[in-house]
Amino acid sequence: TKFPPGFTFGVATASHQIEGAWNVSGKSENVWDRLTHTRPELIADGTNGDIACDSYHRLHEDVEELVALGVHFYRFSLSWSRILPTGRIDYVNPDGIRYYNELLDLLAENNIEPLVTLFHWDLPQSLQDLGGWANPKMIDYFYDYSDFCFKEFGGKIKSWITFNEPYEICEDAYGDEKKAPAIDSHGVGNYLCSDTLLKAHAESYHLYNETYRPVQNGRIFISINSIWYEPSDPENSELVALAEVANQFKFGWFAHPIFTVEGGYPKVMVENIARQSEAEGLRKPRLEQFDAYWIQRIKGTSDFLGINHYTTHLITGAGVDPIAKSPSWLKDIGAVTTMEVGGDSASEWLRVVPTGFANLLRWCKISYNDPPIYITENGFSDRGDLEDYGRIKYFNDYLSEILNVINDDKVNVLGYTAWTLMDNFEWRAGFSERFGFYYVNITDPARPRTPKLSVQYYRELIDNHELPHFD
Ligand code: BGC
């Protein structure tokens, strides 16, 4: 079976993971530069993003790879600290403008549509010094940064993503040490972050919608990541109910305020956290509810539902997960989770469970009034095999589930983005976990890129608009 006519395929990257040139031509330090330089022991192989894939100097090669893949669009992100080194609009770095214009022009010449993410985790350190996403003032800074990018680049860009994976930004970086700035204010900082981030997203959306859309005619949305939770025993109604709670805490945390009619955080989140906070002797819940103004202001602020999806985990029981800190998001859920499901990858958290994706997509259709969906990331890690059959099988099995839900359940999926163009700086895993279509040799200063077998697979899929024959 063919994908629907008009269904588009792309590939994604993110600025900090590929660009390098961390202190070149006016770029300032971001939170990942700071983390990798001051706490290198947190990175699995001790690497960092100083040079990464050197895409800053090699964007012509990058575009050639995109052409070879035959993708319709390229999803990449802008480096805030390259464009506005102070984080504010009081100083614009001309080289940042030049770099992204060069990339946008090259894409246009090759008929590849840009899908541009404003924020993919590399916050200018100067703004982090003021508290980063835990500081409500970030709403203004993000507004100014968005405004600048819409004005400067918007003539060349028809599709914008405000935030990549709000859960990772808030929970992993402010509620844990998994991502920079590694604040680990579990159960507190993570919720301060979500409050600011959702408001910042909404303000950026309204700005685009009112000021830029009428002239630039583009679309703007948010990409939400989900580890999908399923009950370890689907016949056990308690576990079924707990999995729903976990999905509300994970996906619903950011999707419910934007994509439901009632808006605001999911009810079960508000209740659980209020109950726990009271038991902790707090005067106010750690998660503050939005007031009526903000509920309205945030609702409906995304033209599509952007979904990044990789994996499914299981819920095995009620109670406090043994790895949960106190207080914490995980403890607030009140369920025990396990990653022991499906086939493995090079990443501990990434289990291969294609049917989980189908279940997530069906759940999104029901929970969020049948939204138009773009899959903005999906991919598989290994150690860098050139004959990457594991990756090919992953894409094939996940995409066939996507086809099923499009055809059988009429889930409105409009496009698919594979993660990622080339092996790149995989955050705290460094270069030890590789997700790319192209192998990148990081011991060679020229950072040569070598196509893996999956390049052929994806190319054939895109050319024929259907899954290649594969077993
Ligand atoms: C992120 C990417 C990351 C990928 C694989 C997503 O969570 O957006 O930046 O490389 O997953 O871990």
Cα of 418 from ligand 1 centre, angstroms: 11
Rounded CA separation 117/14 (Å): 8
Average pLDDT over residues 349-374: 98
pLDDT in tens, 243-268: 999 999 999 999 999 999 999 999 99
Model pLDDT, residue 154: 98
Q: Where are the alpha helices (DSSP H) in 211-351?
A: 213-216, 237-247, 253-259, 267-279, 292-298, 329-333
Model pLDDT, residue 469: 85
pLDDT at position 471 over 90: no
Torsion region of 401: left, alpha or beta (phi above 0 gives left; psi -120 to 50 gives alpha):
alpha
Share of the chain above pLDDT 90, in %: 99
Average pLDDT over residues 380-403: 98
Average pLDDT over residues 274-281: 98
List of E strands, 4-121: 8-12, 73-77, 113-119
Model pLDDT, residue 131: 98
pLDDT at position 110 over 70: yes
222 and 254 Cβ atoms separated by less than 8 Å: yes
191 and 282 Cβ atoms separated by less than 8 Å: no
Model pLDDT, residue 264: 98
Q: Which of 168, 377, 401, 426 is catalytic?
A: 377
pLDDT in tens, 409-421: 999 999 999 999 9
pLDDT in tens, 3-28: 999 999 999 999 999 999 999 999 99
Q: Residue 314: enclosing H or E segment and its boundaries? A: strand 305-318
Rounded CA separation 1/408 (Å): 12
136 and 203 Cβ atoms separated by less than 8 Å: no
Which among 43, 77, 310, 419 is the best mutation to test ligand 1's pocket, defined by most ligand atoms within 8 Å of the CB?
Answer: 419
Does the annotation mark 238 as catalytic?
A: no
Confidence check on the interface: ipTM exceeds 0.85, yes or no: yes
Model pLDDT, residue 119: 99
What integer best gives the mean pLDDT of the chain?
Answer: 98
pLDDT in tens, 198-221: 999 999 999 999 999 999 999 999
pLDDT at position 470 over 90: no
Here the tokens at position 471 are 């077993």
Which among 309, 350, 377 is the best mutation to test ligand 1's pocket, defined by most ligand atoms within 8 Å of the CB?
Answer: 377
* 285 upstream amide cis, omega within 30 of 0: no
Cα of 309 from ligand 1 centre, angstroms: 9
Rounded CA separation 91/86 (Å): 7
pLDDT in tens, 121-133: 999 999 999 999 9
| CB 122 near ligand 1, within 6 Å | no
Question: Any idea which residue has 């090259």 for tokens?
Answer: 106
| CB 164 near ligand 1, within 6 Å | yes
Banded model confidence at residue 369, pLDDT cuts 50, 70, 90: very high
Cα 103 to Cα 72, 116, 214, distances in angstroms: 15, 11, 25
Cα of 435 from ligand 1 centre, angstroms: 9
* Torsion 53-59-64-69 (CA) sign: positive
Rounded CA separation 394/453 (Å): 13
| CB 171 near ligand 1, within 6 Å | no
Please tell me the residue having the least CA distance from ligand 1 atom 12: 426
What letter represents residue 234's amino acid?
A: P
Banded model confidence at residue 280, pLDDT cuts 50, 70, 90: very high
Please tell me the residue having the least CA distance from ligand 1 atom 5: 426
How would you classify the pairing of strands 305-318 and 335-338? Answer: antiparallel
pLDDT in tens, 421-442: 999 999 999 999 999 999 999 9
235 contact partners, CB below 8 Å, separation of at least 6:
none
CA angle 41, 45, 51 (to 5 degrees): 100
167 and 176 Cβ atoms separated by less than 8 Å: no
Half-sphere exposure of 214 (CA within 13 A, CB side): 4
- Does pTM surpass 0.90? yes
372 and 328 Cβ atoms separated by less than 8 Å: no
